[in-house]
Amino acid sequence: MGVQGLTGFVEERGVFFTELRVRDTKLVIDGSSLYHRLCLAPDADFRRGGDYGAFAAAVRDFFGVLRACGVAPFVVLDGGRGAEDRKLPTLRGRAAEQLRAAHGLSRGAGGCLVPLLTREAFVQALGRLAVPFVQCFAEADREIAGLANRWGCPVLSLDSDFFVFDLAGGYCPLSHFQWQSVRAAAGPQGCYVPARCFSAERFCGHFGHLSKALLPLFAVMNGNDYIGLGALEAFFSKVRLPRGCTAGRGGKHLRLQGLLNWLAQFAEPAEAVDNVLKYLKKHQREEIRELLCTSMEDYAPSDVNLEDFFQNGSYECEAARKADVPQWVLDALAKGKLAPFVINALILRSTFLRVQVENMQRPSAHSTALPIRQVIYGLLLRVSHSTEDDSPSKQTNELPTVCEFDRCQKTLKKTFVQAASLPPDFCDDRFPLDKLMEVPLLCRQMLLLETLGVKMSFLEPIPSHLQLPIAVTCYWICCSEPKVKLNQLKALLLMIVSGELQRITEDPDPTVLPAEDDSVAYNEFLKWKEKKLQNNDFDLEAAHGFCQWQCCLQMGLYLNQLLGTPLSEPDLSSRLYTGTLVHRLYQELKSAPSVENLFILSPKMAHLYLVLLNTVES
């Protein structure tokens, strides 16, 4: 969520914070805020599709600092949009903003855009680091507040809604959490992270002893992600708001400040709501009362007990039960083994496809992965397999549709997409969605491979953790438009091999003797990376192709997860995709084909490259 203008208002004054030394405590972390903060580093390249290895290293460093300071982190991630889909207008607005940012980046302007697979890389990094985390059924704010209050510990986030929640341990904005400036204290207490903690008491005291219980009403009236100001414009046009004595710079927060001073005259929310309604027409009053009261409930800590989840892995959620979500789907969502995309398609029959820095004149990069998404929709919405005597019109009527929000040139459009009709094994009444994992593993693997257009026999020479990315690469080559160029394919495979070389050199398997030629080859590769590029131009056509590959990989990952991972899940955090590197390799292959021999000093890596290339070309 987020309260309009509140972060700027609080930051501008600065008097509402207390200094805090964060050490030897539990810390409840808003995962969505954290991964956005870490991936939007000042030196990040946002045009070339993301450097997930560097992002995963930042995640590792962050949690390493917390451990050194005796901090026990518990990460809570947003899930789907929720059964009521109340944030749809806000999400459409954000998607349009991201589209404008992507278009600007594609033309060489500045800006930031979270790379497509950042969330997946973050969840994998948390798993590798053994950081406890949970992915909620819907928005996480209330569950974060509930868990932090149960433990009496701080919340770490960048969401202005946490200025409004009544938090026993306080709210630490990530912008004031100086994890890269850890300090050692005198005495036995050890090191700590310097931070600042928002004090709701100071905040309320600043506005004539405003009651903390009125902060949710203030947030709702000021406008947040769930409620716009339109409904209350009549109130604001008629009421005389006291200005108080701290107008601030430029007076841009006058209404916000006046509203706080006005609310301070009331003892509790019901009295304040009654006074708001006096300014509205009689026929509007009950509807607005209900809207305000319902919206204020968004700031009551949730009854979902996340402590239960972190102690015994049990995630119980009344909203999910009402939406008839199968228990295995809810469990997999909570453990990060299914993406929010899946729960949105299942409950809302609606999904957002995130834009990348691609060629806006061409169809969306996501269009390449449409057949994979249709199979996902078919599995979730259980489409029957058509028999020969079914008429085409009857088949069409029986196919459920999902509303996709995606880019059409430079605007956000919604399209209704039909789910795929599935093979008989998946339409057997014995195997509805809640029993999908009872379908034999080989059948699930066959559906995945048939969707990607490959046979298991082709993938057998390939290391198991690379089988899914290579199957996706085969699919990409067959389905992408315009067709993939040979140098694009070679650049992609060389990038995958470089990730493998880095993995076995920097994080070797203790049961395998390290080969000296691998170390030599890796050092040569690092020297090559240090060399200044002759041509660092941004090739938008090549970028569009690599965006298509990421879209295919994302949906390949989601389908593989939904089918219970019949293929091993590839590790994004071990440099499976490095956008700056793949673009550089592509540029250099055009002018210096000898780059293809980059790993010739390691027989193992040279052989792996040839195996990957032969598999895909065959």
Tens of pLDDT along 555-571? 999 999 999 999 999 99
Beta pairing, strands 26-30 & 155-157: parallel
Separation CA 175–CA 191 (nearest Å): 20
Between the CA of residue 514 and those of 501, 506, 510, what are the distances in Å? 11, 11, 9
pLDDT value of position 188: 67
Report, at the CATH architecture level, how domain 6-298 is classified. 3-Layer(aba) Sandwich (3.40)
Separation CA 34–CA 20 (nearest Å): 19
Least confident of 56-70, 140-154, 355-369, 417-431: 417-431
The torsion angles phi and psi of 300, rounded to 5 degrees, stand at -95, 130
CB 518 within 8 A of CB 605: yes
CB 42 within 8 A of CB 171: no
The torsion angles phi and psi of 412, rounded to 5 degrees, stand at -85, 125
pLDDT value of position 393: 44
Predicted TM-score (pTM) of the model is 0.94
Q: Is residue 186 predicted with pLDDT exceeding 90?
A: no
Separation CA 320–CA 310 (nearest Å): 19
Residue 128 makes CB contacts below 8 A (sequence gap 6+) with: 571, 573
The token pair that represents 156 in the structure block = 């770490």
> Under the phi-then-psi rule, with left for phi > 0, alpha for psi from -120 to 50, and beta for the rest, what region is 371?
alpha
State the average pLDDT over residues 537-542: 94
CA atoms within 13 A on the CB side of 286: 1
| 3-state SS, residue 214 | helix
User: Alpha-carbon Rg of the chain, whole angstroms?
Assistant: 26
pLDDT value of position 224: 74
Please state, for a pLDDT cut of 70, what percent of the chain lies above it. 93
Separation CA 75–CA 314 (nearest Å): 16
pLDDT value of position 155: 98
Residue 442 makes CB contacts below 8 A (sequence gap 6+) with: none
Q: What's the mean per-residue pLDDT of the chain?
A: 91
What is the maximum span of the chain, computed from C-alpha positions, in angstroms?
82
Separation CA 538–CA 108 (nearest Å): 9
pLDDT value of position 187: 65
Separation CA 47–CA 579 (nearest Å): 8
Q: Which of 139-148, 430-439, 504-513 has the highest mean pLDDT?
A: 139-148
The token pair that represents 418 in the structure block = 């039909």
Separation CA 170–CA 20 (nearest Å): 10
Domain boundaries of the chain, sorted by first residue = 6-298, 440-617
Separation CA 309–CA 311 (nearest Å): 5
> Where do we find the tokens 């009857």?
394
The torsion angles phi and psi of 465, rounded to 5 degrees, stand at -75, -10
Cis omega (within 30 of 0) for bond into 482: yes
The token pair that represents 434 in the structure block = 């809640």
Please state, for a pLDDT cut of 90, what percent of the chain lies above it. 76
Q: Is residue 498 predicted with pLDDT exceeding 80?
A: yes
In this prediction, residue 383 has a pLDDT band, given cuts at 50, 70 and 90, of low
Q: Is residue 332 predicted with pLDDT exceeding 50?
A: yes
State the average pLDDT over residues 119-123: 97
Each residue's pLDDT tens digit, 456-495: 999 999 999 999 999 999 999 999 999 999 999 999 999 9
Separation CA 224–CA 93 (nearest Å): 13
State the average pLDDT over residues 291-306: 90
| 3-state SS, residue 9 | helix
pLDDT value of position 251: 57
Q: Is residue 295 predicted with pLDDT exceeding 60?
A: yes
Amino acid sitting at position 533: L
* Distance from the Cα of residue 514 to its chain's centroid: 36
Q: Is residue 388 predicted with pLDDT exceeding 70?
A: no
Separation CA 466–CA 615 (nearest Å): 12
pLDDT value of position 252: 61
Q: Is residue 246 predicted with pLDDT exceeding 50?
A: no
Residue 481 makes CB contacts below 8 A (sequence gap 6+) with: 363, 368
Q: Is residue 392 predicted with pLDDT exceeding 90?
A: no
Q: Is residue 59 predicted with pLDDT exceeding 70?
A: yes
Query: Which alpha helices (H) appear in 382-485, and where do they start and end?
Result: 392-398, 441-452, 456-459, 464-479
DSSP state of 578: B
